[in-house]
């Protein structure tokens, strides 16, 4: 096996400089309602307000910016259920690069349409019968394009790490040290980046990934000490969090930083989406609300602690959202 090229906190700092002119600086917000419910001091990182409606723009733009000028004309190819797709499409549009995105045919219509709106070509596939990675890599080989992975890439992870860098900066400005930082996990790129940035400034902070119940590959892997796939059959309303196994790079980073994993049920996630609408006045998609769901359900013990929860995305179809908030 070749040694993995793992990103560092310095790579996150470099990504922050790349992203400064284009990404939204989402500030931590507090919620007295959450404090009262949990007995802790809760802060939310509203990446629903990020460009394209999720944190994924950060990693996508950082990765595309790293592509040499000579290779940019051939464009990029990505595979995603929606948020990475939009992030790559928007980054490609800003940088003047062609983009083709392999998306599951059952992805939320809003995510497909928004991806197209950034000028990207969308190539549908059957997530139960076809291999999106193989489709994307074959297409990239035909076109001479660069593949932009959704999570297992040092530049993508470093870009996502700017979420954690901003969290750490905001806590430092408040003169407060976080006890826990929690975020949703699919392939693990968001938490890997957060781990690098957070541990650099707050080495004692606990880090917790949250996944949909059954889609618990991170929780299983952390417990086992090596990468393990989940055993889920079927679907979850958290369409953005259905990766089958943690990434090699992301798991190595997360394991080295002592990340732990918990899960939340679809019913708990639905309640969190409704809570965000009712109490926070924020539109959060199910996958983006899973860490909030774990907090509200008590799977993250916040009593007497300072906790940061990442609301990672807000791209949800109107009909599903209407059902969830009712």
Q: Where are the domains of the chain?
A: 9-54+154-325, 57-148
H/E segment holding residue 201: helix 189-201
Q: Hey, which residues are catalytic here?
A: 56, 312
Residues counted in the chain: 326
User: What is residue 116's predicted lDDT score, i.e. its pLDDT?
Assistant: 96
Q: What's the fold here for domain 57-148?
A: Rossmann fold (3.40.50)
User: What is residue 1's predicted lDDT score, i.e. its pLDDT?
Assistant: 40
Relative to beta strand 29-30, strand 41-46 is antiparallel
H/E segment holding residue 308: strand 306-311
- The label of the residue with tokens 């999720």 reads 54
Relative to beta strand 260-264, strand 206-212 is parallel
Token reading at 125: 């596939």
Q: Nearest-5° angle of CA 88, CA 91, CA 95?
A: 135
Q: Residues 250, 272: contact at Cβ < 8 Å?
A: no
Q: Residues 98, 76: contact at Cβ < 8 Å?
A: yes
Q: What's the fold here for domain 9-54+154-325?
A: Rossmann fold (3.40.50)
Q: Residues 131, 169: contact at Cβ < 8 Å?
A: no
**Closest to 187 measured CA to CA, from 224, 164, 223, 160:** 160
Contacting residues for 231 by C-beta, under 8 A, at least 6 apart:
214
**Closest to 92 measured CA to CA, from 120, 68, 113:** 120
Q: What is the number of other CB atoms lying within 10 angstroms of the CB of residue 117? A: 12
Q: What is the number of other CB atoms lying within 10 angstroms of the CB of residue 170? A: 19
Q: Is the fold of 9-54+154-325 the same as that of 57-148?
A: yes
Helix 83-95 to helix 109-117 angle, to the nearest 10 degrees?
10
Q: Residues 160, 189: contact at Cβ < 8 Å?
A: yes
H/E segment holding residue 210: strand 206-212
Alpha-carbon distance 285 to 110, whole Å?
12
Q: Residues 163, 189: contact at Cβ < 8 Å?
A: no
Q: Which residue ranges of the chain lie beneath pLDDT 70?
A: 1-2
User: What is residue 107's predicted lDDT score, i.e. its pLDDT?
Assistant: 85
Q: Residues 62, 39: contact at Cβ < 8 Å?
A: no
Q: Residues 152, 186: contact at Cβ < 8 Å?
A: no
Alpha-carbon distance 86 to 201, whole Å?
31
**DSSP 8-state class, residue 288:** G
């Amino acid at each position: 096996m070749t040694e993995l090229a793992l990103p560092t906190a310095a790579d996150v700092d470099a990504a922050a400089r790349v992203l400064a002119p284009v990404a939204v600086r989402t500030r931590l917000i507090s919620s007295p309602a959450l404090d009262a419910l949990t007995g802790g001091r809760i802060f939310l990182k509203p990446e629903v307000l990020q460009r394209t409606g999720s944190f994924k723009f950060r990693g996508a733009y950082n990765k595309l910016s790293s592509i040499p000028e000579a290779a940019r004309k051939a464009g990029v190819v990505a595979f995603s259920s929606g948020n990475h797709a939009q992030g790559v499409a928007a980054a490609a549009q800003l940088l003047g690069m062609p983009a083709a995105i392999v998306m599951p045919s059952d992805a939320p219509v809003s995510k497909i349409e928004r991806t197209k709106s950034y000028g990207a070509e969308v190539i549908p596939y059957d997530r139960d019968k076809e291999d999106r990675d193989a489709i994307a890599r074959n297409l990239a080989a035909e076109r001479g394009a660069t593949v932009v992975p959704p999570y297992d890439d040092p530049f993508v992870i470093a870009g996502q790490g700017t979420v954690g860098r901003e969290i750490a900066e905001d806590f430092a400005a408040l003169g407060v040290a976080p006890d826990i930082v929690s975020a949703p996990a699919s392939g693990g790129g968001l938490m890997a980046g957060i781990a690098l940035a957070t541990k650099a400034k707050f080495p004692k902070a606990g880090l917790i990934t949250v996944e949909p119940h059954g889609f618990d590959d991170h929780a299983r892997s952390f417990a086992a000490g090596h990468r393990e796939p989940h055993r889920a059959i079927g679907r979850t309303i958290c369409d953005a969090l259905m990766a089958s196994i943690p990434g090699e790079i992301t798991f190595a980073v997360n394991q080295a930083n002592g990340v732990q994993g918990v899960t939340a049920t679809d019913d708990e996630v639905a309640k969190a989406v409704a809570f965000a609408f009712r109490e926070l006045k924020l539109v959060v998609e199910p996958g983006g609300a899973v860490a909030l769901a774990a907090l509200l359900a008590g799977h993250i013990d916040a009593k007497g602690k300072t906790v940061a929860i990442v609301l990672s995305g807000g791209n949800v179809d109107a009909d599903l959202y209407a059902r969830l908030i009712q």
